[in-house]
Amino acid sequence: MAMNVTVSSACFSVFSYKKVKRIKGAASEDFAAPAALRFRTEEETKVKLGGSELRVTRLGIGAWSWGDTTYWNNSGWDDRKLKAAKAAFDASVDRGITFFDTAEVYGTTFMGAINSETLLGRFIKERDRKNRGVEVAVATKFAALPWRFGRQSVLNALKDSLCRLELSSVDLYQLHWPGVWGNEGYLDGLGDAVEQGLVKAVGVSNYSEKRLRDAYERLKKRGIPLASNQVQYSLIYRAPEQNGVKAACDELGITLIAYSPIAQAGALTGKYTPENPPTGPRARIYTSEFLTKLQPLLNRINEIGENYGKTPTQVVLNWLIAQENVVPIPGARTAEQAEEFSGALGWRLSNNEVDELRTLASKISPVMSFPVEKL
């Protein structure tokens, strides 16, 4: 998840654009293991977010990279990348993945880029014109910038997001990270957004166990459930299991939304090797030394995937889904990636495989966390 602080506040209007029923596109069901489970009904393909009434697909798509020029896309955004992002959106929907996560700080106006919210809103509208019958669940986030104060700042930012998305409401609105101060006011703003019908559900992101419990209790006093906490979580970054966040989510009935589920650069997919590490900002994290230590785990992931007729990417995403009460949101920049992600659905690793992968991963030093995660 990015932290680009260039936030537009240029517009707000309430659009009458209406979301309609989702197309009946099933997730990929190709598998080899006889014990694999198939999800057929909406009850099985979707889950409720926490104690809210909002139901989303068991796996979503993160839109951090769409329009971004600071961390992704090699500092540039062009028509080719735009078409690829649109294809990723369409491929996701075609395969029944209809939950998309964005934020007001994803994407920048520099170097010809476009805000991620703007792109997602455009993709939804274009899809609806061509093929009416798809309902997309949209999640976006409020940036807790130091100069923003009080509950009204949340409502103002939300209305700007709705303007960029060209929607009259969003399904999930989240606090992107805890503020330096004024978090009570931000939470009150979330509650106001629910009561004004601007959002269906509210959540937080990068919240520690203590902050999570405080947010839960404050919203509970108004009869509003805290639906989710979006944190970094993957097979090689299991801090939520160790710092009490995952246990608190399970106890309180808050869904954990997992960002960077395949380790940002795709380190868990086998895409990179010690001889071929990633370039750019991620090269400082996923070094040749780290990738060397990762190889035994990657080898076992690959072996398990072969048994199921699945790719390593699908295995590591399924590992997260198997933790229960977790919705991973890998970032899709191409249609091929979105298609591959869909293959993580409709089957399940055995308990022994889940435990074995965790044991192997525990021998590897965890990757870097988001700076405010321990506040």
> Residue 3: which of 125, 122, 104 has the closest Cα?
104
Q: Which of 164, 228, 154 is nearest to 184 (CA)?
A: 154
> Is 106 tagged catalytic?
yes
Give the active site residue among 106, 173, 207, 233: 106
Burial string for 8-43 (b: 16+ CB within 10 Å, else e) reads eeeeeeeeeeebeebeeeebbeebeeeebeebeeee
146: exposed, middle or buried (Cβ count in 10 Å: 0-12, 13-18, 19+): exposed
In angstroms, rounded to a whole number, what is the distance separating the alpha carbons of residues 56 and 252? 19
Can you tell me the distance from the alpha carbon of 172 to that of 190, in angstroms, rounded to the nearest whole number?
Answer: 10
* Whole-angstrom distance, CA of residue 65 vs CA of residue 49: 24
Alpha-carbon distance of 367 to 74, in angstroms, equals 21
Single out the residue of 298, 226, 229, 227 nearest to residue 258, CA to CA.
229
Other C-beta atoms closer than 10 Å to the C-beta of 52 total: 24
- The 3-state secondary structure of 52-68 reads CCCEEECCCEECCCCCC
- CA neighbours within 13 Å on the CB side: how many for 219? 30
Map tokens 């099985």 to a residue.
44
- Beta strands of 117-198 (E only): which ranges? 137-142, 170-175
Give 13-44 as a DSSP string: --------PPP--PPP-----TT-----SHHH
Helices 312-321 and 288-308, packing angle to 10 deg: 80
Q: What share of the chain is helix, strand, coil (3-state, %, to 5)?
A: 40, 15, 45
The pair of structure tokens assigned to 367 is: 């990757």
**Active-site annotation, residues:** 106
